[in-house]
Amino acid sequence: MSQTTESTTTKRGRRKEARPGELLEAALDLFVEKGYAATKVDEVAARAGVSKGTLFLYFPSKEELFKAVVRENISGRFAEWEAELTTFKGTCGEMIEYAFNAWWERIGSTKASGLGKLMMSEVNNFPEIALFYRNEVVLPAQGLIRKMLQLGMDSGEFRRLDLDYAIYLFEAPLMQLDLMLSSRSMCIVNSDKFDPVKYLQMHAENLLLGLRPRAA
């Protein structure tokens, strides 16, 4: 085999291996831009530079494609995040602050942040997809939050809490930030100067003040 032929074959092989990743990236872009209902598999394939038939080799339906996008960008990383919190060195308060920052770096500041807003807007139209997202993202996320708060209560660093409600003290500012940034000019005064990291830092500080044990 000539060097030119070998090089071409190698490039084709790499291109084939890269296709699932390129399809997931294109699908994420379109789902966030247009929503689940309005996104067509033809558009995803075209943006990824492959045929619709090639897309269906990897993902047999739009629903399976969406699930793969969620797993690639969010739910497939929960085991890693669970291990990270389990081995965290520091106080529970520092763990809470770290979790806020990690969420912003890994989800909030990325295109994946649009998946949550998408689900909130289309949950009633696609109950099966909504159930999938609840089981793959919402419940595991709440499980991690619950674990952090429980560790703080067990160590005496946090006051006793009803965790069924306390988890939303952590979740609420993240969801609010997603919505604010999606309508930045309407929701945020001086939006060009708005710093999401500072916003999350203030919420973390407020949360930790509220979690402290109360004086007798």
pLDDT of res. 8? 42
Distance CA(200)–CA(177), nearest Å, equals: 9
pLDDT tens column, 82-141: 999 999 999 999 999 999 999 999 999 999 999 998 998 898 999 999 999 999 999 999
Confidence class of residue 216 from pLDDT cuts 50, 70 and 90? low
Q: Report phi then psi at 106, rounded to 5.
A: -100, -25
DSSP per residue, the chain: --HHHHHHHHHHHHHHHHHHHHHHHHHHHHHHHH-TTT--HHHHHHHHTS-HHHHHHH-SSHHHHHHHHHHHHTGGGHHHHHHHHHT--S-HHHHHHHHHHHHIIIIITSTTHHHHHHHHHHTTT-HHHHHHHIIIIIHHHHHHHHHHHHHHHHHTSS----HHHHHHHHHHHHHHHHHHHHTHHHH-TTGGG--HHHHHHHHHHHHHHHHSPPP-
Helix, strand, or coil (residue 77): helix
Confidence class of residue 145 from pLDDT cuts 50, 70 and 90? very high
What count of residues does the chain have? 216
Position 5 pLDDT exceeds 70: no
Q: Which whole number is the average pLDDT over 187-211? A: 93
Distance CA(108)–CA(120), nearest Å, equals: 16
| pTM (predicted TM-score) | 0.85
| Total Cβ atoms within 10 A of residue 101 | 15
pLDDT of res. 133? 96
Cα distances (angstroms) measured from residue 89 to each of 16, 97, 104, 142, 209: 42, 13, 20, 21, 21
Cα distances (angstroms) measured from residue 123 to each of 36, 83, 117, 118: 10, 30, 10, 8
Confidence class of residue 19 from pLDDT cuts 50, 70 and 90? confident
pLDDT of res. 11? 41
Tokens of 43: 């558009």
pLDDT tens column, 152-196: 999 999 999 999 999 999 999 999 998 888 888 788 888 888 999
Angle ∠(95,100,103) on CA atoms, nearest 5: 115
Percent of the chain with pLDDT over 90: 78
Position 72 pLDDT exceeds 70: yes
Q: Which whole number is the average pLDDT over 193-216? A: 92
Q: Rounded mean pLDDT of the chain?
A: 89
| Total Cβ atoms within 10 A of residue 31 | 23
Confidence class of residue 65 from pLDDT cuts 50, 70 and 90? very high
pLDDT of res. 141? 96
